[in-house]
Amino acid sequence: MVGIGGSVVAAGCLGSDDEDPSTENGSSDDDDGDGTGDSETITVDDTIQSAVDSAQSGDTIEIPEGTYEEFVRIETDLSLTATGDVVLEGANIEPEDSDDDAVGIEVDASDVSVAGVEIVGYADAAIATIESASSISVSDVQIADCVEGVVVEADEIVLQDSAFGEIDGAGASLVASRSGTVTVESVTVEDCGGNGVDVQGGESVTISDVQATANDRGVRIHGGDARDQTAEIRDVIATGNERGIVIEEASGDSERSLEHVEIRDGTGGIEVVGDTITLEDALVSDHSLGVTHRSAILLESSPDGHVTVNDIEVTDIEASSSNDKAGRGLTVIDGGEVEMVDIEITRAYGNVIHVETEDGRDRSVSITDAQLVSNGLSSAIQVDDAGGTNSIVLERIRTEDTVRGIEIVGDTVTVEEVDVNGVVGGGSPGIGIESTADGEVVLEDISVTGAEGGSSYSPWGRGVEVVDGESVTISDASLTQNYGDNLSIEADAVRDQSIQIESVFAETNTAGSGIVTAGSSGSDTVEITDCDSNNHAAYGFDIGGESISIENCSAADNDRDGLNLRDIDEAEANISGSNL
């Protein structure tokens, strides 16, 4: 930024007719009162610039109450502090040189603090640095009707207890050095044409107690030149911004932590890129998203990164596009370890939860204690194939009235205490799992009801569909009133599959059978115990496999037979205590 040379066009303090004879401009008090101190306090009597010009390094400039129409240029390390209601007014003045910037307070020094002033009406920034400083502190300031708010570059930046409003550009644009620190605390930004709080660089960035309303991005952090950046955001409320909180990529191993955040009424919620991401106690509501800002919460990690999501509520997410990537509730991309706990998402448009893969392999995904209700397109939960060895655990999940059900691809898949009630799009199973030839699938204590179909075709609208898995175990399941097969276990890549089905209650469908094992091209072992399969359009039990054991099972009111064995005769099967 070009310096303005400290020119004062409209001079001094307006509204102070009487001069205090004890505080002539440039007069000072040293720390000890004996005239020998290294730093002094200088009280402004005429213009702020005159007091600044008389200061030595380390001095404090005190500004009495009043309105000052001037441009201030600071070239000495000092503190500038208001002692009353102080207003710097720039609407009625212009720089003497038309090439100079109309900046309220321009800093060309290493260590400067500004506190307690109101800055309004400047045609450029309210506060700006010319070169990168060592330390800039801005506190208890109010800035309005300026083209830019605070635009500073330094190793250490502190912005606190301040308010910004009606800024053409960014409220606060803070650029830190590669190893620098940025602290933003107790700040309000409203009606900025640019970002509310915009931070670039800094090894450590902390933003807390911020309210951002009707800006472009409410809060944005970019890695800049920093490596291994740590960014912490807590107690942030963002309302009516184009995008609520955006944390972009940083080189090296970056850590991002967000806690106690609320994002309301925008077109983009929370977007975070980092290696280690923690999001806790967050609310995103009332957003209309397109493909660009496709998810209310979008977290992108690295292939070996760690993503933790805890205590999240997302509600009323609409889509400005019918693309299946638009209007999602929660999306996680990559991450070697992904943990989600206590998730509540209601009325998202697209996938409610989607765990995607771009570069990841050998991933562990855990989703626990989730309530997912109503969407307009796609799945309640979708976990994509990551390549390598993948472990997926779903526990204590409830979904209701989603277009598609739960769709998972993984080697080891465990689903426990899951209730799927209503899959309304037609064609999708309530729970669909695709494993591998040597994978393991365990489903326990599950319920699937009301998976709808799109045609008279039994694979549509199945209750539970499992493809592959060397070992498949299903127990304590209630599968009722689904369109297609209530339970279907198929083989694609697997040979010599081992299947155990215990305590499954399957009842009523429109097309297909109750319990189906298709059998692989190898030698399969199927054990079915304590199961009931009634009132189906085809068979109660439609079982393929070379070694079949059925014990204490019943089948009634099925349109075909209670039992159909695909690969062996009934005499070759071990059937006992059953009414089929």
Digits of tens for pLDDT over the chain (580 positions)?
333 333 333 345 554 444 443 334 455 555 444 444 578 999 999 999 999 999 999 999 999 999 999 999 999 999 999 999 999 999 999 998 877 899 999 999 999 999 999 999 999 999 999 999 999 999 999 999 999 999 999 999 999 999 999 999 999 999 999 999 999 999 999 999 999 999 999 999 999 999 999 999 999 999 988 999 999 999 999 999 999 999 999 999 999 999 999 999 988 899 999 999 999 999 999 987 755 567 899 999 999 999 999 999 999 988 866 666 678 999 999 999 999 999 999 998 888 999 999 887 889 999 999 999 998 888 999 999 888 889 999 999 999 999 999 999 999 999 999 999 999 887 789 999 999 999 999 999 999 999 998 665 557 899 999 999 999 999 999 999 999 999 999 999 998 999 999 999 999 999 999 999 998 888 899 999 999 999 999 999 999 999 999 999 999 999 999 999 999 999 999 999 999 9
Tokens of 551: 């014990």
Phi, psi of 494 (to 5 degrees): -80, 150
524 and 498 in contact (C-beta within 8 Å)?
yes
pLDDT for the residue numbered 287: 82
Which residues have a Cβ under 8 Å from the Cβ of 438 and sit 6 or more positions away? 411, 470, 494
- Residue 69, φ and ψ in degrees, nearest 5: -105, 95
The per-residue pLDDT for 3 is 32
Q: What letter does residue 344 receive in the DSSP assignment?
A: E
Tokens (6 digits) for 144: 């309005």
Question: CA neighbours within 13 Å on the CB side: how many for 101?
Answer: 21
Question: What confidence tens digit (pLDDT) does each residue in 148-201 have?
Answer: 999 999 999 999 999 999 999 999 999 999 999 999 999 999 999 999 999 999
Q: Choose among 344, 245, 219: nearest CA to 298.
A: 245
> φ, ψ for residue 570 (rounded to 5)?
-60, -30
